[in-house]
Structure formats: C-alpha cells, structure tokens
C-alpha cells in the first residue's frame, strides 16, 4: 500500500496513532497547532531539513534509521545550546509511490529518537512531492540557565569533545565504497549516537561556547572561532583513533584524521570551558582557545585536508 | 546568479542579512538554535509545508507572494488557537538553478507577512533539492488565555466567520482558466489576507472552538464537528457573495457558493461562540451548532458540492 492510497489525511492519521506523548506536550497533533510547555519562559527552536539522495539514501539506511537521524540532527542543536529537548514538529514530503509502511517506520524512528531525550512529536504536516523531504523542528527548554552560544569562547579556554567523533564520516566512506562493514562505523552513519544530556551538563560545568558537530569538527569550531573572535588550536595527538576506524582507514587508503577532524554528521558536541574546569571523563580535551585572529589550526598550522562540506558545490542536482 | 553559485552558507548569509528582528526574538539566526520569548510558559507551535507545483506555481505568483502565503498559512494556525505569533523558522529546499534573487524575494515576503503579526524569522535551514519546498514552523504565545481548540463547540453556539472567504479559491479558478483578473480574487490566491488579531480577540470574546480555513469551510468545520461531537448547520443565505465574485462565477460558469463553502487557502478564521455573544461587526454569523451526530450541513441538508481537498487523490505526481 502506498501513500497515494491512504491520501494525506489517512497517512497523517496512521502516523499520529503511532506517536507517544511526552511530559512537555500539553496539546498534541490534531488541532491547528500544538501546545508545548515552556517553563523557562523562553523556548529554544531549531529546524533542519533532510533531502532524499542528499542527506540520506534509502538503499543505505532503513526508514527507522533515517527517522532517528532526522530527529537527532535537530535534537542535537537543542542540546548544543545547553537546553533539554521538549518537542518535535515534522513536515514530511512524500512521493505518492512511497509505501505507507516506510512512512510509518520513519515516524517510529523519529519518535524513538525523541523519546531518548524525553521529547515527543507534537505536530507536523504532510504533502505529496516528487522528492522525499523531511523537515524537523525541535523545541527545547533552558531550565533557567543562560544559553551556550557560539560567541562565548575566551582565550585560555579548554576545547573538549564528547561522544563519538569521525564515526559517521567513516561509515559514509565505507558505504560509498560499496561496503557494509565495519558495522560500528556504518551504524554510526545511519544513526548518530548523540550524548544529549552532555549539553545541559556542559552548561552546568560553565561551558563558554558549544556547537554540535554536523559540518565537521574544524568547520564547526570555525563557527565558534568566528562568533567568539578567537583562535582555536587543536592537538592532533589528543584524538584517539579507535582500532576499527584505523583498520577501515588503512583498508580504504584514507587518513582517519580526515574523518575525525573534518567529517560531519556525528551530531556530538564540542564545547569550550574556562581554564581549570574539572571535566567529567566523557569530555575529551582536544585543544585550547588563543587570542584573535579568528581561525582554527591543528598543532599550530592550518588544516590542509577537507574542511567540512557545503551542500551545493559538492553534488550537482538537476 | 543562482543558488549553486552562492552555495548553502552563502545563501543563508544573504537571506539572514535581510531579516528583521521582532520583540520575542531573544537570539536570532546564526547559532545552533534560536531562542524565543515564551512569557506564557507555554508555546504554541505549528508546521506547514508548501511544495512547488502543488501549493504554488511560480508562473502564477511572485516569490514575494509565495513567501507571504507560506508565512500566512502558519501564522493563521497560531491565530486560530487564540494565540499571538512570535516567531517563524523556515526550512527551504531549492533547486541549484534557482536565482538567488528569487530566494531573497521569498525571504522578504515571509518576513513581511510575519511582521504584520509582530513575529520574525528566527532561524531555518537550507538544502539543495530537485523540488522547491518551503516548510515553515510558526511559534506563538497564548498570553495567559486558554487555547481555543477544535473540541469545545457546544449545541446552541453561534458559528461565525471573520475575513474574506472564498476569495482564494475563486482566484485559483480564475488563474487555472488562464485569466489574470479580477485582480482582487487573483491577489487573494497569491496573498491571503489573514485577520490575525481576530484570533486572540475571539478568545477574549469567549470562543468555544476555532479553526483557520485552509481545506475549505465545510471541511474545516467538519474537523470542529468531529472533535466537538456536534452537528454544525450553516445558513447559505448568511453568506454575501460580493459583486466581483458573482460576476467571475457567472463568466466562468461556476456556483460561487462552491468557492465560499468548499474553497480553501483563505486562512481566515471560523469560530463558535456561546449563544448571546455580542460579536463585533467583522464577525459574520453563518450558522448554529446542534447536538450530535458530528456532521456539517447547509440549511439542514448535506452539502453535495466539492467538500474540500485532500492532496494525493487530486493531483498525481510521478
């Protein structure tokens, strides 16, 4: 059965019936708008869009995987502000020949990823389109804390990352060469494992700036460097390349540091902390913040590998 | 110059530079997420997606028109809850050959429509895609009032509409027959004129249920009838067909009541009010709420014309 059979309202009804309810959901799907608790009296909001063939491939990832990733990309943005996600809204554009089961599995993936953070899907929209497109908006709450923006890094700060880094890019390379293993890398491309709680935790630890790694560590630190007017220097030796990543890199003839330093889509967090901050063990110090000019270096030198990716120049779409 | 020339970040920078700031915008575009004031401690949120060739035609509407309409469709959902819009987030998918000027004009239209309500664009995302797609999320604030849902209509209530009704559908018919006038109808299709303030005003007047007219009056009242478990009976004689609409209907061989009763996309509001409510003159009483079963009738009889539109069955997309 395809979505052309159920029609727009039929598909919405089927998907809505599968969604769970979260504590912040005061009014869920089915009215003109949803109502979400915002106890902080400020709401954190972010939107990301994923396009079929560009941000995901249906032959590489299951519908559930794609749902997890669409949700994670947005929920990570909320965590990167130091906030706790509360709700998602999903605008889904589907080709009429899409199987209903695929759309349902996608919705299950989105809802399951949201549930990891306590958030839930509170609303959305659906339309037919020749191009399968998933636009997700995430909302979150700061719990009375100031937001951690990109603009607060100060000379002397420690740069630290939390979570898996380079895994998603490695998995992408593996898949693009036609392989399906190592599974840990491929799965990391399919479903990023985001340390959501580390976002608010970083705020409590006094983080001065934070961002989620979507474009690549150097590119994303470049956003912090630009917004804060600081020079960020990374120490290549600080990064531990796990055995499976090293083996895959060797087999594929790739420098694994390219994945770690320039690979995106892990949606884990990198933050700056005041000097002397006692970081819990999940945070790995990887560099220091120096005075302007705004730039990012590795061991004091400009990074000469790939520097993250911008959509249009990379892949031409007709 | 096309968006393939500027790239994703270049286009985002150009568009961001054109956006205004609203009073609720605590942190605008440029970080992982935006921060929006939610003084009510609840946030109202709604998402609508518009797809090129399906919800708009670039040969019928200017980029600014399409921006106005994309924003209005979402802002009207916020007003229909009795809330005041505060912010928009926009996920824009653009074909690489799209002129940059078109995207900028679209952004101007979205921002200008938002400004009518005091809201502003606080964030968004952009991607290349073969299909031009605009997904907008609107946020709003209830100002301490209870939300006006679809579920509160009670037998004895008055049904009343505010704003222009049937105009957008009439304009659509005019354009689809290859004409470009009457201008008032064509313009209504291009840019709905939404009485945003009437939403919160209706809440203050004691509205028991409210919805914005996007699928058509009968279809949308059907949502209230279903959610409230009531029978809504419209009085055909209550609707005044304006001269230009009557003339256009006559010239095109269309029953103008089809536009008024079943035409969508006006994004004006219909609400139910307790019996005896003294309605301000902009609200036109058009029917009454009766006891269950849940259905909508016109002069006591089922409506036999077109009953609003569901996307998939109407237009096949390959």
User: Would you say residue B261 lies in a domain?
Assistant: yes
CB-CB neighbors (< 8 A) of A149 in chain B: 27, 31
Task: Please indicate, yes or no, whether residues A128 and A233 belong to a single structural domain of this protein.
Answer: no
> So what's the pLDDT on residue B111?
96
Contact assignment for A138 to B33 by CB distance below 8 Å: yes
Mutating which of B45, B94, B124 best tests the A interface, going by the most A Cβ atoms within 10 A?
A: B45
Task: Please indicate, yes or no, whether residues B43 and B171 belong to a single structural domain of this protein.
Answer: no
User: Would you say residue A289 lies in a domain?
Assistant: yes
Task: Please indicate, yes or no, whether residues B100 and B216 belong to a single structural domain of this protein.
Answer: no
CATH number for the domain harbouring residue A243:
3.90.650.10
Distance between B247 CA and the closest CA of chain A, angstroms:
33
Of A41, A80, A96, the CB nearest to B316: A96
Q: In this predicted complex, what is the ipTM?
A: 0.93
CB-CB neighbors (< 8 A) of B4 in chain A: 312-313, 316
Contact assignment for A33 to B135 by CB distance below 8 Å: no
User: Would you say residue B313 lies in a domain?
Assistant: no
User: Would you say residue A147 lies in a domain?
Assistant: no
Contact assignment for B124 to A7 by CB distance below 8 Å: no
Of B48, B150, B313, the CB nearest to A7: B313
B111-138 per-position pLDDT tens digit: 999 999 999 999 999 999 999 999 999 9
Contact assignment for B36 to A54 by CB distance below 8 Å: no
- Residue B154 reports pLDDT greater than 90: yes
pLDDT interval class at B313 (50, 70, 90)? very low
**Rounded mean pLDDT of B180-184?**
93
Domain count, chain B: 2
User: Would you say residue B317 lies in a domain?
Assistant: no
A37-59 per-position pLDDT tens digit: 999 999 999 999 999 999 999 99
Owning domain of residue A277: 158-314
Chain A, chain B: beta-carbon pairs less than 8 Å apart: 259
Task: Please indicate, yes or no, whether residues A11 and A136 belong to a single structural domain of this protein.
Answer: yes
User: Would you say residue A152 lies in a domain?
Assistant: no
Residues forming beta bridges with residue A34, ordered by sequence position:
B45
Whole-structure pTM value: 0.94
> So what's the pLDDT on residue B314?
36
> So what's the pLDDT on residue A314?
35
């Amino acid at each position: 059965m395809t979505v052309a059979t159920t029609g727009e309202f039929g598909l919405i009804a089927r998907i809505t019936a599968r969604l769970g309810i979260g504590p912040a959901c005061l009014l869920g799907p089915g009215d003109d708008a949803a109502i979400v608790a915002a106890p902080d009296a400020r709401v954190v909001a972010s939107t990301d869009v994923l396009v079929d063939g560009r941000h995901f491939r249906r032959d590489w990832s299951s519908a559930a995987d794609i749902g997890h990733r669409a949700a994670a990309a947005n929920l990570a943005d909320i965590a990167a502000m130091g906030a706790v996600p509360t709700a998602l809204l999903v605008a889904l554009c589907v080709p009429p020949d899409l199987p209903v089961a695929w759309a349902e599995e996608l919705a299950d993936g989105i809802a399951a990823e949201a549930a990891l953070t306590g958030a839930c899907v509170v609303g959305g929209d659906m339309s037919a389109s020749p191009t399968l497109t998933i636009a997700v908006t995430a909302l979150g709450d700061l719990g009375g804390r100031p937001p951690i923006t990109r603009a607060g890094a100060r000379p002397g700060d420690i740069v630290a990352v939390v979570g898996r880094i380079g895994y998603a890019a490695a998995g992408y390379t593996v898949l693009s060469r036609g392989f399906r293993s190592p599974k840990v890398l491929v799965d990391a491309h399919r479903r990023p494992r985001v340390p959501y709680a580390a976002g608010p935790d970083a705020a409590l630890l006094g983080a001065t700036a934070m961002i989620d790694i979507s474009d690549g560590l150097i590119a994303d630190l470049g956003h912090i460097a630009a917004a804060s007017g600081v020079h960020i220097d990374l120490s290549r030796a600080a990064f531990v390349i796990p055995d499976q990543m090293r083996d895959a890199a060797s087999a594929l003839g790739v420098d694994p540091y390219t994945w770690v330093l320039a690979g995106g889509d892990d949606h884990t967090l990198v933050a700056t902390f005041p000097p002397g901050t006692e970081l819990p063990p999940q945070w790995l110090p990887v560099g220091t913040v120096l005075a302007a000019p705004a730039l990012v270096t590795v061991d004091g030198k400009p990074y000469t590998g790939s520097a993250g990716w911008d959509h249009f120049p990379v892949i031409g779409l007709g």
